[in-house]
Structure formats: structure tokens, C-alpha cells
A and B are shown apart, each in its own frame.
Chain A
């Protein structure tokens, strides 16, 4: 059973350096005993994920608009592999268009986060996502219908 004492393994793939910095700072400030791994683009992320020895992450934050492999391509590829079925995928994008939200959920995303425009919101969002993810995984809720958008 996962408890809050266990460390959460979180991945973030985002080509924007500032955004990666904001994100890791937020995780640090939250003091949630989480392990965060950062990727500069989709290809880097996929190269890491295909490695059979890695410990699977709990949540993967995925920027949509990335050079090389885009977020949606990574999403499709990950969801096509049953090995990652328990990994929650959080889309982390500037776009707030309903179409992007719907499309990514349909492709198998669980969470959709519009990049917030202030730091406290970012912290709050990350906390909420981690929390919600934990609730879903710990309380026997249906992961299939685990959608969370903010």
C-alpha cells in the first residue's frame, strides 16, 4: 500500500527551461518527499522510459508543445504500452483550449494542467495532482475514469 510516507516518483518533460525550474522549485517547496526527474524533450523522456530497469514513475507531467516528439505523440506511445498502465499522465501545457483538453483525455491522459501564471497556483496544482493521484491509487477508485483538469 502506498502511503504518504512513501516517496512519489514524478517525471516532467518540458522543453522550457524556466518552466522546469519553476516546477522543481515548487516540488522542493512543497516538501512532499518526492523524487523528480526532468527531461528536456519527448525523445529524452521516451529513451528513459523504454529502459527496462527503471522504477516506474507515479505521475508523468508532459508538455504538449515540444520539439522533436510532441507531448501527444509521447502520450500515444506510452498508452500503447501496457507496462505503463498504472502511470498517471498529467498534461502540462499553456493551451487551455477545450479541444486540446478533450483530445488528450481521449488519448489516455488522466490529468490536464494549464500552466498557471503564478507560483502559488503552481504549487497548489502540483499538490492537488499528487494528492488526487494518490487517492485514486490508494482508494480503489476507477483509474479508467480518472480525469482531473485544472
Chain B
């Protein structure tokens, strides 16, 4: 689970890393383009400055020229003008330079072209002035006008140049400002780049650290798991093996070796070595199943025996199934389970079951003997007693008559005993089929069955609310027949016998006393009578087999009736309780679980 989480994390981490690298690349390219831009700005500024310089040089050449010309006019010294061609060359050079500098800008090169024209015109004026000045008779007026014009043109030129210089310097200023900005941006970008790289570096490092930690933990856990698996196999009697079908190599778990009765890794795991430990009787079957499965790749399940070197036989449940390992190789994994104990227990259980079935048939036979074969001769005895009584009794002495009457009483008692015994054995065996049964209907039927008995006792029987319960119908009928018969039998002679059967709610006290967890788990049915009752101290004994409280022959009984009741209630996983008070009556409480407890 954790390993899976880790894997998932690294996946996310990979994505984050990729995004970060893309971002870094982007920022780096932005930085590069900023640098490029910065470069061109610097170039532009240099160009502008150079242009200014050339222009100023130009102006100064022209000024020098003018000054020389003036000086010549005044002094007529030829030395002032001997360098004039040189200057002209200089200017040509300047113009050429300027042309070159402004070649990439149409407006600027136009400006330069105009400047050149102005300079050409100015030189024309120089020449004209010089010609006038050199002539013998200097026309003062003409010279003056030429000088004036020259001066004007120079001024114009100067102002034009200064205009250009101004525009150049303005441009340079803007460029400079831009340069400042770009420089700022570049610094920010560079800083960002560094920070981001650092963050990525840190995260990577951290992640690596965590990964290693997790890996270590996972490894530890795996080790522990492996160990506990080994222990578990040993404790539970499991052993497993693996067969790589690509490489045909077997792997056996330690405990598989132990199951075969040898130390772990006692031999090289393969079929040839293993079959030595398989019970010879099972060998063909086991190898066939295994080899078939290697062909059809179907899961296997079989029971066989290992025969250990010590000669011990172990019953093994072996299952095998096919899967693919991490490399995509087809492998068969098998688990062998030592079921020797279960097998032995099942055998034992089967034997017990057989014995039980035998006992049950015996019981049934016994039941038949009691209900039919024993009753037959007894009935005959009673029949002959009645024949003798009717015909021959007078021939007997008084003592003989007494004996005879005792024989009759004993025979009658034996008969009731046999009937009760049959009923009792029917509660032990018998078909225990649970059926939804309306107790009200059962009691209606019982009252019909007992009608003559009830009539005879002049009993008033009240039936209250009764539930429909899942029970064994004939047993539950027997239960209520016995309880009502009991109440009728132990009724008082002087008053009207009143018997009430109704269901009631379970009280808190009863829950405590009888350890009932939930009131809704049981039905409680109460049978109340106003008979002779009994002392509460006998309350438990009354349900015991052959236990009778009354010794008065008037209340004849076999001591089986209530034992049968107890038995029936137990068959229904319920319990029966009784409360008695001498001279007042008895209350029987029948607790029967509701369906789901059965």
C-alpha cells in the first residue's frame, strides 16, 4: 500500500520535474533574447555616439577651413590655404564614415545626404570666395557678399548638424533608458533562473532522500513479512512452491521441506527429488494432475500423502494455480496444506456418526419394543386379569383377592409407564422438523383432545394471546398436553380448577436471572393453575426423570410427564421454569427462542 503510494508520488514528482525544466528552459530562452536585445542596444548607442563624433569632426574641419580662409583673406598668406585639399579629403572620409554608420537607417542617411549637399555647396562657396580673394582686384562688395553667404551657409550647416546631433543624442538617450530597463529585466530573469534551479535541485535531493528512506522501510517490511510468512507457514502447516514455466525452475518455501520431513533446502527443488517424498500410492495421480496442469494451465486441487523419511504419513491438501510474475513469465504457484489432523478427526467423526446412527436405530428398535412388543403381552396380562376378575375372582380367598387387585394395579401402572416412555423416547429421536405453528390452533386441538378430561374435572381453561412459532408441531402439542394434564391432575377437588395459558412479556428480572440478552429473542408462555401447588424448593427437581413430588396414590403419575416437557423445550433450544406455592397453585414458564436463535 505504502509502496504503491510512493510509486504514485514519484510519478507526480516526475511530472513536476518535467514542468520545472520546461519553465527553466523558457526562462533561459527569455534571458537569452533579452541579452541579444541588450547587445543591439549597446551597438545602437555606440553608433549614435560615433555619428555624433563624426559630425562634430566634420564641423570642426569646416570651421578650421573657414578660419584658414579668413586668415588668408586678411593676410593673403598662402600658408593658410595650402592644406585645403587635405581638409577636403578628411571631410570626404567623414562623410563616408557617416554614410556607413547610417546605412541601416533611411532617415539618417537622407540627413547625411543633405548634409553632404550642404557641405558641397559650402565648399563651392569656399572656392568662389577664394577665387575672389585671390583675384588681383578684389571686389570687396562681391567678396563681402560671398563671405556673408558663406557664413549663412555655415550657420545653416551648423544648425542642421546640431539638429542631427540632437536627434542622435535623443535617440541615444532613449536607447540608454531602454538599456537600463532591459538590464533590470535581465537581472530579474537571471535571478529567477537561479532560484528555480536551486528549488528543483533541493526538491530532487529531498525526494531522493525520502525515496531512499521509503525503500529502506519497504525493504525492512518485506523482510519482516517474509519472516512472519515463514513462521505462519510453519505454525499453520502450510508450504508453498513456485514453478517458472519459462525457465523450468522450482522454488520451495522452507516449510514445504519441513512438510516432507526434511530440513529447509535439504535438496534441490525439482520434481525428481520431490517425488521421493510422495506416498507411492498417490504418486501416479499427483504427477499426472501436475503434468496435465502444466499443459492446460488449469488450477489444480488434490489430496495426497507425503511419506517422510521417518515413515510418517502426512495428509496434504494441495492447490495450484497459474499466474504471471514481474517479468511476464508464466509461473505455477502451489500451496500444500497439512490436513492430517482434520483428516483423522473427520475419520473419527465419521466413525462416531456411524456409531450414533447405529445407536439411533437401536433406540428406535427399543422404542418399537416398548411401544408395541412390550405392550402386547402386558395387554394380554391385563386382559386375562379382567377375565379372571369377572369369572373366577369368587373362587379366591380374601388374601388371594388382595394379591389379585395388586397385580391389576401394578399391570395398569406398567402400562401408563410404557406409554410415557414411548412419548419420552419420541422427544429424543423422532423427526425434528420445524414448522411455523399457530399455538392458538395447537391449543384448540389439545382442548378437543382433552375435552372429556376437562369436562370430568369441570375445569375452566382460558387461552390468552399466543404467538405463531417455528416448532416441532407434535412435540409442542405434547408439551402443552402434558402441562395442562399436569394442572388437571393436581387440581383441588373443592374448587373449580382454573387453568390459563397465555404469552407474556419477559421481565427485567427474568432477563437477569436467565441471562437473556434481548427480550425479543424469546417467546414466553405462561401456564397458570390454581391447583395444589408445591414448595418452591422442589422447582428444579420437578423436571427430572422419574421425579415425583406427590406420594399420595390419588395423584398417580410416572414422573415422566414434566421430564418430557423439559426435554421438548430443550429440543427447541428454550428452557422451562416453574413457580409453586402449596395450596395456591403452580405457574409454568416456557421460554422458546424466536426463529433466528435456532
Contacts and interface: CB of A to CB of B under 8 A. Distances in A.
**Are chains A and B touching in the complex at the 8 Å CB cutoff?**
yes
Interface of A: 16, 18, 22, 65, 94-95, 115, 117-122
A122 B386 CA distance: 10
9 contacts: A22-B383, A94-B372, A94-B379, A95-B372, A117-B379, A118-B385, A118-B386, A119-B383, A120-B386
What DSSP secondary structure best describes chain B's contact surface? helix
Contacts of B415: 117
Contact of A119 (B372, B376, B378, B386): B386
How big is chain B's contact interface, by range?
Answer: 10 to 19
Contact of B372 (A65, A117, A120, A121): A65
B380 A119 contact: no
Interface centre among A65, A94, A119, A120 (most CB of B within 10 A): A119
B473 to A, nearest CB: 11
Given A65-B372, A94-B372, A119 B387 contact: yes
A65 B372 CA distance: 10
Contacts of A122: 383
B382 A118 contact: yes
Contact of B376 (A22, A94, A120, A121): A94
A22 B371 CA distance: 22
Interface string B381-400: 01101110110000000000
Contacts of A95: 371-372
B390 A117 contact: no
Contacts of B382: 117-118
B375 interface: yes
Contacts of A22: 383, 387
A104 B376 CA distance: 20
Contacts of B379: 94, 115, 117
A16 B377 CA distance: 11
The 5 A-B pairs with the shortest beta carbon distances in the complex, nearest first, are A118-B386, A117-B382, A119-B386, A117-B379, A119-B387
A65 B373 CA distance: 11
Given A117-B415, A120-B390, A94 B375 contact: yes
Nearest to A96: B419
Nearest to A114: B379
B383 A18 contact: yes
Given A117-B382, A117-B386, 18 more contacts: A16-B376, A18-B380, A22-B383, A94-B372, A94-B375, A94-B379, A95-B371, A95-B372, A117-B379, A117-B383, A118-B382, A118-B389, A119-B383, A119-B386, A119-B387, A119-B390, A120-B386, A121-B386
B369 to A, nearest CB: 13
A119 B385 CA distance: 9
A121 B372 CA distance: 20
A118 B391 CA distance: 13
A22 B385 CA distance: 12
A27 to B, nearest CB: 15
A16 B375 CA distance: 14
Contacts of A119: 383, 386-387, 390
A118 B379 CA distance: 8
Nearest to A16: B376
B379 to A, nearest CB: 5
Contacts of B385: 118
A38 to B, nearest CB: 17
Contacts of B389: 118
A28 to B, nearest CB: 13
B411 to A, nearest CB: 8
Nearest to B376: A94
Contacts of B386: 117-121
A118 B383 CA distance: 5
Nearest to A95: B372
Interface in B358-373: 371-372
A65 B371 CA distance: 13
Contacts of A121: 386
A119 B376 CA distance: 15
A121 B389 CA distance: 13
Contacts of B372: 65, 94-95
Nearest to B477: A98
A56 to B, nearest CB: 30
Interface centre among A18, A94, A95, A118 (most CB of B within 10 A): A118
A22 B378 CA distance: 15
A80 to B, nearest CB: 28
A148 to B, nearest CB: 16
A65 B376 CA distance: 11
A58 to B, nearest CB: 25
A125 to B, nearest CB: 13
Nearest to B386: A118
A119 B384 CA distance: 8
Interface in B160-184: none
Nearest to A18: B380
B337 to A, nearest CB: 49
Contacts of B380: 18
Contacts of B378: 117
A22 B389 CA distance: 14
Nearest to A98: B474
A121 B379 CA distance: 12
Contacts of B371: 95
A71 to B, nearest CB: 14
B482 to A, nearest CB: 15
Nearest to B391: A119
A102 to B, nearest CB: 12
Interface in B80-96: none
Nearest to A120: B386
Contacts of A117: 378-379, 382-383, 386, 415
Contacts of A18: 380, 383
Nearest to B379: A117
Interface centre among B371, B376, B383, B390 (most CB of A within 10 A): B383
A22 B390 CA distance: 13
A57 B9 CA distance: 102
Interface in B36-63: none
A115 B372 CA distance: 12
A40 B385 CA distance: 24
A12 to B, nearest CB: 15
A120 B389 CA distance: 10
A117 B419 CA distance: 13
A90 B581 CA distance: 48
Nearest to A22: B383
Contacts of B375: 94
